């Protein structure tokens, strides 16, 4: 069943969700963003309407998706009172009950994926974590999620907190390591592209092996000679030296 949907927010999550929802046959009706130009840019490809204030969002829709930063969800919720449609936020670390009072039906529609502008994502591969304040809300969120994802999970607010925490370790922190690796290579006139096959193999390996089994490297082997050689190459007191020491100690302690 196609739904009539409005979106609050015009960032990466909103852009990717709008594209997936449109492809699934749903109608994007209205878009609100604090930046009117951003709202207009997101609305235009789908012939949706850009609105300038949250209170101007019309009631004749099925679902409103709040796709703003975690810090912004409460602010938006305070402007939505006793609306007639289902309201769901897409935050990973925000309680579902922040939307209490916005509608009789509210919940969470959280895509567990890193989403960046200009990088297409196949939403059918993205885990969609849903939670509703009642059975009717959950059923509607499940029906919507099933149209764009093959991996829909009922996740409680408490579970989602830990899921989001784990995702930060797996994604945000690993990317921070790539930044350090690129910095080390660039200082020696080497291209980060040299590491891409290694990064790809590392990601693919944990599809077949446990994370514990997949670990390799000098810290796992307790190869103190190599560890010291690496530390000697890093500037004293640098972020990279601190990170190398800390992670090497953690890995060594696990094996």
Query: How far is Cα 168 from Cα 69, in angstroms, rounded to an integer?
Result: 15
Instruction: Domain ranges for the chain, please list them.
Output: 4-155, 161-254
Are 4-155 and 161-254 the same fold in CATH?
no
Q: What is the mean pLDDT of residues 108-119?
A: 93
Q: Parallel, antiparallel, or unpaired for β 4-8 and 27-32?
A: parallel
Give residue 98's pLDDT.
97
Tell me the C-alpha distance between 27 and 60, whole Å.
12
For the domain spanning 161-254, the CATH number is 1.10.1040.20
Helical residues (DSSP H) of the chain, grouped into ranges: 12-23, 36-43, 70-77, 135-146, 157-167, 174-187, 196-205, 211-214, 218-221, 224-233, 239-254
**Whether pLDDT at 28 is above 90:** yes
Angle (deg, nearest 10), helices 36-43 and 12-23 = 20
Matching CATH number, 4-155, of 1.10.1780.10, 3.40.50.720, 3.80.30.20, 3.30.1360.30: 3.40.50.720
Q: What's the pLDDT at 151?
A: 98
Segment 53-103, tens digit of pLDDT: 999 999 999 999 999 999 999 999 999 999 999 999 999 999 999 999 999
3-state helix vs strand vs coil in the chain, percent to 5: 50, 15, 35
Distance separating alpha carbons of residues 198 and 195, to the nearest angstrom: 5
Whether residue 65 contacts residue 109, with contact meaning beta carbons closer than 8 Å, is answered with yes
Look up the pTM and report it. Answer: 0.90
């Amino acid at each position: 069943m196609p739904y009539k949907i409005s979106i609050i927010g015009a960032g990466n999550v909103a852009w990717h969700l709008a594209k997936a929802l449109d492809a699934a046959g749903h109608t994007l009706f209205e878009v609100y963003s604090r930046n009117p130009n951003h709202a207009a840019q997101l609305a235009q490809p789908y012939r949706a309407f850009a609105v300038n204030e949250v209170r101007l969002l019309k009631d004749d829709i099925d679902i409103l998706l709040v796709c703003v930063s975690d810090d912004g969800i409460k602010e938006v919720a305070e402007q939505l009172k006793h609306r007639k449609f289902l309201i769901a936020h897409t935050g990973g670390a925000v309680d579902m009950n922040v939307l209490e009072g916005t509608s009789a039906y509210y919940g969470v529609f959280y895509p567990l994926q890193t989403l960046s502008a200009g990088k297409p994502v196949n939403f059918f591969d993205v885990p969609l974590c849903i939670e509703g304040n009642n059975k009717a809300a959950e059923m509607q969120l499940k029906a919507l999620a099933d149209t764009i994802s093959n991996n829909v999970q009922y996740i409680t607010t408490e579970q989602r907190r830990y899921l989001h925490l784990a995702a930060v370790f797996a994604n945000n922190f690993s990317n921070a390591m790539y930044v350090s690796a690129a910095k080390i290579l660039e200082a020696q006139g080497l291209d980060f592209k040299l590491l891409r096959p290694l990064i790809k193999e590392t990601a693919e390996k944990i599809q077949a092996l446990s994370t514990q089994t997949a670990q390799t490297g000098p810290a796992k082997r307790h190869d103190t000679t190599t560890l010291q050689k690496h530390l000697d190459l890093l500037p004293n007191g640098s972020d990279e030296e601190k990170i190398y020491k800390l992670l090497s100690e953690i890995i060594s302690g696990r094996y």
